[in-house]
Structures are given as C-alpha cells and as structure tokens.
Amino acid sequence: MWVILKFNKKNLSFLKKDFLKYLGNDVKFYLPKLKLQKKIKNRLQDIESFLLGDYLLCFHKSFENKNVINSLKYCKGLKYFLNNFQEAQDEIKSFVQKCKTNEDENGFIKQCFFEFKENGIFQFLSGPFINTKFRIIDRQNTRIKILIGKLTTTVSKENYLFRPV
C-alpha cells in the first residue's frame, strides 16, 4: 500500500534509515525529481528539485495496518502522513506509473510529463528564458510557438523545461 508523507528535507536520510530499520528492506521510496536551471552569478547552473516539494511516496505491504503507521509517526525527519491515502491508491499508482514512464535515463522527469493547453500561461524552468512567463500560441510535433510579452518565437519542447503557472 502506498502512503504519502511530508518530510523535512534536511533529515530525509534519517527518515529512510528509520523506515528501513522498522519495516525491512522491502520498502520502496519514490521521490520524482526535476533538473532545473538557476542563474547564479550570471551563469546557469543545473539544480535538482523535487517535483512534489517536501512530499514523499512510500510503498510497503504493512501500511494497511494502522498500528504500523502510528508507530512510524515519530521517526526523525517525518512531519506527518497524509490522511485518506487508502481511498486514493489507484490515483497514487497511476501517478507513480506516469512519472516513471516520463523519466529520462538519469531519473529526472522529462517535459512530456506536463500537460499543457494552448493560451495557458507557463513559466520556463530552464534555458535562457528561465523564470519568464509566456503563452503558447501553436503546437507542432517537436516545437511550440510562444508569446513572451510582445515577442513571438518558436522553441523546442525537448530542450526546455516549463510548467503551467
């Protein structure tokens, strides 16, 4: 059974150790990552970022038992478990499957993961237009025509990472 938990980013390794110690080696953690670019001193640098922020997906067959979850509530690095995860198992499984099918060879989420509509407002997460907001005018197979302010240009879908705002 999958659970969703909120964790402290500084203590993620402690959290994983505690879960492995209590539940054994058959625990699966899933934390989808993005590779973003950030301007630091006028240079673009690649940065790892978590797609879900400080939420982690964790799978173990014994999570069906509430006593197991109650005993894990006080692990170092754990803030809390999200409630009602039992009813959302199908959605969690499909989300994990969608993430895994849209990962590159290094485990980072690719741009094709994000669904987008024309005339929606988006923001670049990588490339020379980083943090710039734009609208999609037209979509082609590998390129999109965008509007940034009053400037119209065409960019490749595969080379740049962007998300809906």
pLDDT in tens, 137-159: 887 777 888 888 888 888 887 77
114-164: CATH, from 3.30.1450, 3.40.50, 1.10.10, 2.30.30: 2.30.30
Stretch(es) of the chain classified as CATH 2.30.30: 114-164
pLDDT of residue 163: 77
CA distance 73 to 57: 15
CA distance 81 to 17: 17
125 pLDDT higher than 90: no
- Tally Cβ neighbours within 10 Å of residue 19: 20
Q: Domain spanning 2-111: which CATH class is it, in words?
A: alpha beta
pTM of structure: 0.71
